[in-house]
A and B are shown apart, each in its own frame.
Chain A
């Protein structure tokens, strides 16, 4: 059983594998989208390498890219960036 960390996604506590990226953690948590486009359409991680900015989320209050950030215990993630 791989180690897990607990994070909060839009206020809901979820357990995700330790060491994975925030983008991957959101997928583990069943969140298909990381943000909404200007027309309200769902968007999610795409380029995986910090180029497209589609996986931007609010991490502990600061806007960051989910694909470039590793999860950590107690992280607070908001999908409203």
Chain B
């Protein structure tokens, strides 16, 4: 087992983590950046390390390349063996990192909700299919339905089309009136991108329907068709893939593990992005869904604060206030409708890992009760998928995760560490 030492450990190399690590180094601290993917960028800048496609990613990726930040990829955090001692697992075995302060920038995941047929091969998250395609998933010529909720649907549909998919329909569950109100707030930068994506789709002739959602997916070994509810009508569409996601949920497992205060499913931080636990900062969507602009600003603030440079410039404060307005608009206008709570049948799988049905879970009192009674949330994904679904379906609080945060070989905890100097490694 290898062991590294650093002053500031940054977990997650998406926009928030990159900004945090670069800013910490600029403020005079030593930072180590770790991510479970094989390269930096997170989900939003996936595949952009070698070819950035916009000004923002070009600027920050160049900054990271030029920065002395030590980077390690392909490593997933599984536990803290002690305060300030993180344990990661990866293809080359485990790695321990001793740090003085910690910045967590683990972003968000998609909210996936159960409906009959949602476990069929060919049914993906909306952002899920988008990132799979960025990593070479062949989608050219395939008929794809994009469904769920939020601006991510437009971005996903846009990039699927660009990769050669035939996007049959974008089904947004929110009502037209809410979408109009969201569009009316399009003054800030991220919202403009949403607007541009919508425009491109319209020009390309892709239908975008509001008050529309997938009721079921059908197929034998593979998805063949979906049944949609569009307003008062029901419609069947033959398709090869369904990309369906109902907004994003903050990844808070690390905050739960460390005992940080949470509110509304997100990590509570102060003006310096500092959590309720000393020396532990959070940046980006773990603190609430707000898009890439907000992630970058929070990352910059967290990195500087962790490096001991606490003063916030006027520009940073103003940028943060602007990004927060966008986050609030997102929340208000893409509220999930009640009908989505009633799509699953009693025998529809809710916990995909342990094959626990919706009916079996429904009679439980809490996530913990469901764990004890049915093994819901106790499989490989440790409740990352069904936990967020249960929060929406039944109003359950997320159960506290137990280490390890992911399945790992026993050697991850038993082998004795060998010290490795971060400055000397390649």
User: Real complex partners, A and B?
Assistant: yes
Chain A residues close to B by CB (< 8 Å): 17, 19-21, 23-25, 27-28, 32-33, 37-39, 41-54, 56, 62-64, 67-70
Q: How many angstroms between the C-alpha atoms of A33 and B354 in the bound complex?
A: 17
Q: In the complex the two chains form, is A48's CB within 8 Å of B124's CB?
A: yes
Q: How many angstroms between the C-alpha atoms of A28 and B132 in the bound complex?
A: 12
Collect the chain B residues with CB atoms within 8 Å of residue A32's CB. Answer: 121-122, 221-222
Interface residues in B119-136 (C-beta closer than 8 Å to A): 119-125, 127-132, 135-136
Q: List 24 A-B contacts (CB under 8 A).
A: A20-B135, A21-B132, A21-B137, A23-B132, A24-B136, A24-B138, A32-B221, A33-B121, A38-B355, A42-B121, A42-B222, A45-B137, A46-B352, A47-B109, A47-B124, A47-B385, A48-B135, A49-B125, A49-B127, A51-B110, A51-B385, A52-B384, A53-B380, A70-B135
CB distance from A18 to the nearest CB of B (A): 9
Q: In the complex the two chains form, is B128's CB within 8 Å of A46's CB?
A: yes
Collect the chain B residues with CB atoms within 8 Å of residue A27's CB. Answer: 137-138
Q: How many angstroms between the C-alpha atoms of A62 and B379 in the bound complex?
A: 18
CB distance from B160 to the nearest CB of A (A): 12
Q: How many angstroms between the C-alpha atoms of A56 and B74 in the bound complex?
A: 15
Collect the chain A residues with CB atoms within 8 Å of residue B112's CB. Answer: 46-47, 52
Q: In the complex the two chains form, is A53's CB within 8 Å of B381's CB?
A: yes
- Extra contacts, 4 of them, besides A43-B121, A53-B380, A68-B38 (Cβ < 8 A), are A21-B136, A24-B135, A49-B109, A68-B37
Q: How many angstroms between the C-alpha atoms of A74 and B385 in the bound complex?
A: 33
> Taking CB as reference atom, which chain A residue is nearest B47?
A19
Q: Does B207 belong to the interface (CB within 8 Å)?
A: no
**For the complex of A and B, 6 pairs with smallest distance between CB atoms:** A20-B136, A44-B121, A48-B128, A53-B380, A24-B136, A21-B135
Q: In the complex the two chains form, is B119's CB within 8 Å of A37's CB?
A: yes
Collect the chain A residues with CB atoms within 8 Å of residue B353's CB. Answer: 53
CB distance from A17 to the nearest CB of B (A): 6
Q: In the complex the two chains form, is A25's CB within 8 Å of B121's CB?
A: no
**Known contacts A52-B352, A53-B380, A54-B352, A47 near B135 by CB under 8 Å:** no
Q: Which of A23, A41, A53, A64 contacts B135 (CB 8 A)?
A: A23
> Taking CB as reference atom, which chain A residue is nearest B42?
A49
Q: How many angstroms between the C-alpha atoms of A56 and B135 in the bound complex?
A: 16
Collect the chain A residues with CB atoms within 8 Å of residue B130's CB. Answer: 48
Q: Does B407 belong to the interface (CB within 8 Å)?
A: yes
**Known contacts A37-B355, A42-B221, A67 near B135 by CB under 8 Å:** yes
Q: Does B159 belong to the interface (CB within 8 Å)?
A: no
Q: In the complex the two chains form, is B91's CB within 8 Å of A64's CB?
A: yes
Collect the chain B residues with CB atoms within 8 Å of residue A45's CB. Answer: 124, 128, 132, 137
Q: In the complex the two chains form, is A19's CB within 8 Å of B43's CB?
A: no
Q: In the complex the two chains form, is B136's CB within 8 Å of A46's CB?
A: no
CB distance from A2 to the nearest CB of B (A): 10
Collect the chain B residues with CB atoms within 8 Å of residue A28's CB. Answer: 136, 138
Q: Which of A21, A41, A53, A56 contacts B119 (CB 8 A)?
A: A41
Collect the chain A residues with CB atoms within 8 Å of residue B129's CB. Answer: 48
Q: In the complex the two chains form, is B110's CB within 8 Å of A68's CB?
A: no
Q: How many angstroms between the C-alpha atoms of A4 and B115 in the bound complex?
A: 38
Q: Which of A20, A38, A49 contacts B128 (CB 8 A)?
A: A49
CB distance from A15 to the nearest CB of B (A): 13
Collect the chain A residues with CB atoms within 8 Å of residue B123's CB. Answer: 46
Collect the chain B residues with CB atoms within 8 Å of residue A43's CB. Answer: 119, 121, 352
Collect the chain B residues with CB atoms within 8 Å of residue A67's CB. Answer: 131-132, 135
Q: Which of A19, A24, A69 contacts B132 (CB 8 A)?
A: A24
Q: How many angstroms between the C-alpha atoms of A27 and B380 in the bound complex?
A: 22
Collect the chain A residues with CB atoms within 8 Å of residue B174's CB. Answer: none
Q: Does B13 belong to the interface (CB within 8 Å)?
A: no
Q: In the complex the two chains form, is A46's CB within 8 Å of B137's CB?
A: no
CB distance from A68 to the nearest CB of B (A): 6
CB distance from A41 to the nearest CB of B (A): 7
Collect the chain B residues with CB atoms within 8 Å of residue A39's CB. Answer: 355
Q: Does B76 belong to the interface (CB within 8 Å)?
A: yes
Q: In the complex the two chains form, is A69's CB within 8 Å of B121's CB?
A: no
Q: In the complex the two chains form, is A52's CB within 8 Å of B385's CB?
A: yes
